[in-house]
């Protein structure tokens, strides 16, 4: 009787472990869930929740932004430090300059220039005109906003932060930089989290439909978070594997118990 109770207890422990492992697997594969995620399996192209409008397609420079400024015609320009400047370690070894609290950036030869509120193109034109006034010979000024970035999380070949070095960088541009999505990614579950983190705009994209790529919502904005989930079959496969890892040693214990029970009857 005691041996029978032992076997029942072993089966009960096995059942409890499987239930907890199932919950753990679901939680492990869930990133930034929202109540609207129920639509991800049914969307055809692009579905937007809490739409904030298109807004400015071009990012405007803000206080504390970091600018990399160089004169394409002169390799030495911008490669040495200046007051308030710091090396950003880019491939071109261009020095970066912070936008101060007054909205100005302190640059070689021309000093402080107000750039806050300007787009990258507007800032470039303004700085080029000022350098021309300073008798710089045929300047071709290039401005990069170093800290404008998006974050990729989930089933991408490469995850992490990606700089938006060009205006109108699209989702496809960033997917290309990331090496695309993994074999286990579900192309219907891509989500972009944009804007105010307490009340974000959520953009769901079905990558299976080429017409999705025409949406202007897929022009990325600073601090966008892009998430893609794994397919249900891949999650199920991982669950089964995790169950197998748990069941195998337990079966050994149960078989041993059965053998002991059989030989001691």
pLDDT over 80 (residue 248): no
In three-state secondary structure terms, 114 is: strand
Same domain, 170 and 45: yes
Same domain, 113 and 13: no
In a domain, 61, yes or no: no
Structural domain span for residue 47: 33-56+148-229
pLDDT over 80 (residue 64): yes
Alpha-carbon gap, residue 13 to 51, rounded angstroms? 48
Instruction: Give exposure, 32-70, as e/b (b: 16+ Cβ within 10 Å).
Output: eeeeebeebeebebbbbeeeeeeeeeebbbeeebbbbbb
* CATH number for the domain harbouring residue 98: 3.30.1950.10
Give pLDDT, residue 83.
43
User: Among candidates 58, 118, 34, 108, which has minimal Cα distance to 78?
Assistant: 108
Give pLDDT, residue 109.
85
Same domain, 125 and 250: no
pLDDT over 50 (residue 42): yes
Q: Select from 123, 145, 167 the last residue of a domain.
A: 145
230, with CB counted inside 10 A (0-12, 13-18, 19+), is buried
Q: Where are the beta strands (DSSP E) in the chain?
A: 46-49, 66-71, 86-87, 95-98, 104-107, 111-114, 141-145, 149-154, 160-163, 190-194, 201-205, 225-228
Same domain, 76 and 122: yes
In a domain, 225, yes or no: yes
In a domain, 77, yes or no: yes
Give pLDDT, residue 244.
65
User: Among candidates 17, 14, 15, 36, which has minimal Cα distance to 25?
Assistant: 17
In a domain, 28, yes or no: no
DSSP notation for 169-215: -BHHHHHHHTT-B-TTB-TT-EEEEES-TTS-EEEEE-TT-GGGGG-
In a domain, 244, yes or no: yes
Same domain, 41 and 103: no
pLDDT over 90 (residue 180): yes
- Report the number of distinct structural domains present in the chain: 3
What is this structure's pTM? Answer: 0.68
């Amino acid at each position: 009787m005691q041996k029978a109770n032992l076997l029942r207890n072993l089966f009960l422990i096995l059942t409890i472990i499987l239930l907890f492992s199932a919950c753990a697997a679901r939680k492990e594969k869930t990133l930034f869930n929202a109540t609207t995620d129920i639509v991800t399996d049914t969307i055809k192209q692009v579905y937007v929740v809490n739409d904030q409008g298109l807004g400015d397609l071009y990012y405007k420079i803000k206080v504390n932004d970091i600018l990399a400024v160089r004169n394409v015609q002169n390799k030495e320009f911008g490669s040495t430090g200046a007051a308030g400047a710091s090396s950003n370690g880019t491939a071109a070894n261009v020095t970066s300059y912070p936008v101060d609290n007054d909205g100005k950036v302190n640059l070689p030869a021309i000093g402080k220039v107000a750039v806050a509120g300007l787009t990258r193109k507007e800032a470039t034109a303004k700085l080029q005109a000022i350098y021309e006034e300073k008798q710089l010979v045929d300047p071709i000024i290039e401005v990069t906003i170093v800290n404008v970035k998006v974050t990729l999380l989930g089933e991408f070949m490469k995850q992490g932060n990606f700089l938006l070095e060009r205006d109108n960088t699209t989702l496809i541009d960033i997917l290309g930089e990331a090496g695309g999505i993994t074999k286990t990614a579900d192309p219907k579950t891509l989500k972009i989290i944009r804007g105010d983190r307490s009340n974000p705009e959520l953009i769901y994209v079905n990558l299976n439909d080429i017409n999705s790529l025409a949406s202007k919502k897929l022009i990325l904005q600073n601090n966008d978070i892009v998430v893609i989930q794994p397919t249900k079959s891949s999650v199920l496969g991982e669950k089964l594997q995790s169950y197998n890892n748990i069941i195998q040693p337990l079966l050994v214990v149960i078989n041993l118990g059965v053998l002991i029970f059989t030989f001691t009857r």
